[in-house]
Structure 1
């Protein structure tokens, strides 16, 4: 999931692909006990303000549909259709996506796990750096 966070930073132009690759290499080879954000801070590829801002956005804006799109499971058009149905029916988005055949229960479960991991990741970074107190 931290790789997803890194990809988001690259897509926003905050990190270069090379910087992300370097951070991931260090995490994999030298410091698996550190989170990617901590490594990027240490390399000075990212400021604490950028990390806080992006994690805040990630925490509030990452929705299950965005994860499914990022993973290539659902398209933007399929998600829009499911969201329209959700507005009318009040049903859970995941239930609608499965009913429409846009994802399987297993794919939804994995995406929900990633969403939960992102929320925990954000909360742990807030604790480490003393934000949100």
Structure 2
């Protein structure tokens, strides 16, 4: 892992006042170290950490991703109710989900219009709307 990647990861953690533990810095560097946004699963981030020779357990990866989401550094995108992706881009935006290979990618919000919503149950407030557009090759 490059010193630049570690520095970016450390600054990313500091932006959310998260304590920079060794594991958090390592995972943050893998997530944002190159300055690009990405979508990962816990399993894919764990595999990347193994490839980079970083010693982090899968349970630590899950716990760290949850902490990053709780701190507002990432957003969880649930696909099929059973598969979660974690997105380093935290603004409101839709996603394309490719059914054949399970890839998740950002979609443009241009042209997306949500004209109305059903009436919310009493005592509820809207938290957010997730739009996942499922695709398969024609």
Pairwise same-fold verdict (TM > 0.5)? no
Range of TM-score over shorter length: under 0.3
TM-score by length of 2: 0.26
